[in-house]
Amino acid sequence: MSRLIVNADDFGLTAGVNRAIMELHRGGVLTSATLMSCAPATEQAIEMVQSAPAMVVGCHVVLVDGTPALKPAEIPTLVDAQTGRFQPKLNTFLQKLLAGRIKESEIEAEASAQIARLQSHGLRLSHVDTHKHTHMLPGVLRPLLRAAKGAGIQAIRNPFEPAWSLRATPGLQLMRRFEVMLMRRYEAEFLRLVAEAGLVTTNGAIGVLATGTLDAGTIAALLKNMPEGTFELVSHPGYNDAALAQANTRLLASREAERNSLQKIKQFPAIELISYADLLPLTE
């Protein structure tokens, strides 16, 4: 059986992103979303979830290009000393992490604070993932797993794109393909650490390679080639409005394209649409 979680990242980023996510949820296309805890439109997103009982949400933990939940003095290796915000560039974060200049204890504390901020509003979080997939790396994954377990969360995104999905994704530059394939060297350790922590995950994430170019043709190609198993389609729908233009994201016009293209999923009724809540019964 082929099962698919259709997840929207960046819930809470802007009102236009929130609007697109809720429209797709009500339209029966989107089964899940991950919510930023400290984004400009987080409060609106929380209100939307509270008025939509069937909406399944997780925490989109942000460690790059965003505002922390904790005070900068509590997480000095994670933030820019001048701005008090996270490092604006992923490469800078990765360089510091791989050089051992970011403390895992600070990542755990910050992830725990972001999760707790959402749970304090009564939200029942189904899973965790990270902005820009930083938990691909063991130095982020280990503290994130501890934070998730401490908060009673039982599922986490598998951010690695399977080989079949990479082959099925049309076009794109060779360098982008090489980068995504290179990161798969961490997959075996990811699966081991998740299993040891007792969390569940999927067989992989599809659409990661196509981030920024995910259109109807790409979705059709991915779903036509999807084998048996449980996968997550990672998406970033939204409305390309003035607020999005100010949000410091490279995903602008592509969010409109994704919002429209996700309707293509309805043409594949043999694929069972599920949410992270269906992977494992959540405890009361």
pLDDT digits (tens, 9 = 90+) for 7-61: 999 999 999 999 999 999 999 999 999 999 999 999 999 999 999 989 999 999 9
SS3 content of the chain, % helix, strand, coil (to 5): 45, 15, 40
Note the pLDDT of residue 41.
95
What Å distances lie between residue 103 and 83, 97, 109, 190, 225, CA to CA? 19, 8, 10, 19, 41
The answer to the question of residue 52 being in a domain is yes
- pLDDT at residue 161 in the model: 94
Is residue 283 in some structural domain?
Answer: no
Judge whether 203 lies within some domain. yes
- Average pLDDT (173-197) is 86
Backbone φ, ψ for residue 146 (5° rounding): -65, -40
Q: What is the pLDDT of residue 239?
A: 86
Query: Which residue type does 202 have?
Result: T
Is pLDDT larger for residue 179 or for residue 250? 179
Q: What's the mean pLDDT when you consider all of the chain?
A: 92
How many independent structural domains does the chain possess?
Answer: 1
Q: What is the DSSP letter of 282?
A: P
pLDDT for res 247: 56
Who has greater pLDDT, 117 or 170?
A: 117
**Residue 263 pLDDT:** 93
Domain holding 127, by residue range, is 2-278
Contact 157, 127 (CB under 8 A): yes
Statement: residue 121 has pLDDT above 60: yes
Percent of the chain with pLDDT over 90: 81
Q: What is the pLDDT of residues 204-239, one digit of tens each?
A: 999 998 888 899 999 999 999 999 999 999 999 988
pTM: 0.93
Tell me if 284 is assigned to some domain.
Answer: no
Asked if residue 253 has pLDDT above 70, the reply is no
pLDDT tens figures, 48-95: 999 998 999 999 999 999 999 999 999 999 999 999 999 999 999 999
173: domain CATH number is 3.20.20.370
What pLDDT is stored for residue 74 in this prediction? Answer: 98
User: Which of the four pLDDT bands, split at 50, 70 and 90, describes residue 284?
Assistant: very low
Q: Which amino acid is at 251?
A: L
Helix (H) or strand (E) holding 119: helix 104-119
Q: Stretch 268-272: mean pLDDT, rounded?
A: 96
Q: Which one has a higher pLDDT value, 188 or 243?
A: 188
Asked if residue 111 belongs to a domain, the reply is yes
Using a 10 angstrom Cβ sphere, with 0-12 exposed, 13-18 middle and 19 or more buried, the burial of residue 116 is middle
Residue 191 has pLDDT above 60, yes or no: yes
Does 13 reside within a domain? Answer: yes
Question: What pairs with residue 33 in β-bridges?
Answer: 8, 57
Statement: residue 251 has pLDDT above 70? no
Per-residue pLDDT, averaged over 156-171, amounts to: 92
| Residue 281 pLDDT | 58
CA separation (Å) from 107 to 65, 103, 146, 281? 14, 7, 10, 27
Within a domain: 37: yes
283 — pLDDT class (breaks 50, 70, 90): very low
Asked whether residue 31 is assigned to any structural domain, the reply reads yes
**What does residue 76 show for φ and ψ, rounded to 5 degrees?**
-60, -30
